[in-house]
Amino acid sequence: MVAVESLSELRQHVQNARQAGLTIGCVPTMGALHAGHISLVEAAKKETDFVVVTIFVNPTQFGPNEDFSKYPRPLELDLQMCREAGVDVVFHPEVPTVYPAGATTSVEVGGLSSVLEGAFRPGHFRGVATVVLKLFNMVQPDVAFFGQKDFQQQLVIKHMVRDLDVPVRVQTCPTKREADGLAMSSRNVYLSPEERQTSVLLSQALKLAETMVHQGGATPGGIEAAMKKHLETDPRVSIDYAKLVDAHTLADLNRIQSEMVALIAARVGTTRLIDNMLISGHLS
Ligand code: PAF
């Protein structure tokens, strides 16, 4: 495995792989890698011949009061995990490599970017779409791998790829969970032991939504209210949203339909967590 910081080195390695007839897979990350990221690397290794992991804590997707400066950056550990997982190249650029002085261009995916996460984190998806398009242009992968954990993110990226004819296939991989159901996230390290216990309420609330859909009779509004009630059983939780929406458009629902997603964003103490579950209901 090689770890490179410059675009020219990255391009040289990718070009060599291409000339050898290999297909390129890319796993974009912000580092602080965990088993969820490694499952993306495994999917990339299965489906492509040459795997590039990018590690870049992207400043443009953090709001002014968010955790950009304290976001964990354990680079040596990350490189070790990538080496053990059989990654070919880790690209870990500095900020000026990705955003040269004077850069003023950004990518805005209309509609999808302004609801749910977008409503609570204005500008977040502009930062995500911009950096992901840049990383795609830098790596030029055949396939890029993202986790379902960031459900709205993977939807926004798929729309960007479609709308701008980006020649990359975007593959979404299942969320990796701890034994008690908590979705793996680089931000879980912020949780105190008590908060860590509380945080299981998110996946429990999603399961509750799934059970209510499958039992039948409940409305989307009733299911959202039940998720909120479950989350509020612990005063450490403060809810941004707990929604059951269309899995493709993220639009609100009047009735249960076939392809839905339940999405939760909540603060546990000061740590903001998100999680989601795809739920298929019967047409009604
Ligand atoms: O999901 C992430 O880690 C980031 O949002 C991504 C896709 C690497 C863009 O910075």
pLDDT digits (tens, 9 = 90+) for 117-173: 999 999 999 999 999 999 999 999 999 999 999 999 999 999 999 999 999 999 999
Q: How many CB atoms lie within 10 A of CB 19?
A: 8
CA gap 213, 256 in Å, rounded: 7
pLDDT score at 26: 99
pTM score over 0.85: yes
Atom of ligand 1 nearest to the CA of 186: 3
Rounded-to-integer distance, Cα 173 and Cα 40, Å: 7
94 Cα to the center of ligand 1, angstroms = 15
d(CA 20, CA 189): 41
Q: Let me know the angle formed at the C-alpha of 145 by 143 and 146, rounded to the nearest 5 degrees.
A: 145
Q: Quote the CA–CA distance of 112 and 246 in Å, as a whole number.
A: 12
Does residue 242 sit in helix, strand or coil? strand
% of the chain exceeding 70 in pLDDT = 99
C-alpha distances in angstroms, 7 versus 13, 125, 158?
10, 24, 24
Q: What whole-number distance in Å separates Cα of residue 62 and Cα of residue 124?
A: 6
- Quick one: average pLDDT of 221-248? 98
pLDDT in tens, 243-282: 999 999 999 999 999 999 999 999 999 999 999 999 999 7
Strands (E), the chain: 2-4, 24-29, 50-55, 89-91, 143-147, 169-173, 237-246, 260-268, 271-279
The response to whether residue 132 sits with its C-beta less than 6 Å from ligand 1 reads: yes
CB 277 less than 6 A from any atom of ligand 1: no
Q: What percent of the chain lies above the pLDDT cut of 90? A: 99
148 secondary structure, DSSP code? T
75 contact partners, CB below 8 Å, separation of at least 6? 31, 55, 92
The per-residue b/e assignment along 179-196, b for 16 or more CB within 10 angstroms, e otherwise, is eeebbbbbebebbeeebb
Ligand 1, atom nearest to 150 Cα: 1
**CA of residue 113 to ligand 1 center, whole Å:** 15
Q: How many Cα atoms occupy the beta-carbon half-sphere of 54 within 13 Å?
A: 32
Which residues are CB-contacts of 229 (< 8 A; sequence separation ≥ 6)?
none
What pLDDT does 284 receive?
46
pLDDT confidence of residue 282: 73
Contact (CB, 8 A) for 200 and 174? no
Q: Is residue 283 predicted with pLDDT exceeding 80? A: no
Cα–chain-centroid distance for residue 170? 12
Q: Is 29 in the pocket of ligand 1 (CB under 6 A)?
A: yes
Q: What is the pLDDT of residues 76-120, one digit of tens each?
A: 999 999 999 999 999 999 999 999 999 999 999 999 999 999 999
Q: Which residue, by CA, sits nearest to atom 3 of ligand 1?
A: 29
Q: Give distance in angstroms: CA of 228 to centre of ligand 1.
A: 27
For the chain, the average pLDDT equals: 97
What lies within 8 Å, CB to CB, of 252 at 6+ separation is: 220, 243, 245
pLDDT of residue 243: 98
Task: Among 27, 131, 148, say which to mutate for ligand 1: greatest number of ligand atoms within 8 Å of CB.
Answer: 131
Active-site residue, selected from the candidate residues 13, 34, 37, 230: 37
What residue owns the CA closest to ligand 1's atom 1?
29
User: Over 70: is that where the pLDDT of 180 sits?
Assistant: yes
Query: 230 catalytic, yes or no?
Result: no
Measured between alpha carbons, how far is 176 from 182 in angstroms, rounded to an integer?
9
Burial 201-213, CB ≥16 within 10 A → b, else e: bbbbbbebbbebb
What is the reported pLDDT for 123? 98
- Which pLDDT band holds residue 41 (cuts at 50, 70, 90)? very high
Asked whether 61 lines ligand 1 (CB < 6 A), one says yes
Cα(31) to centroid(ligand 1), Å: 9
Which atom of ligand 1 lies closest to the CA of 57? 10
- CA of 30 from ligand 1 middle (Å) equals 6
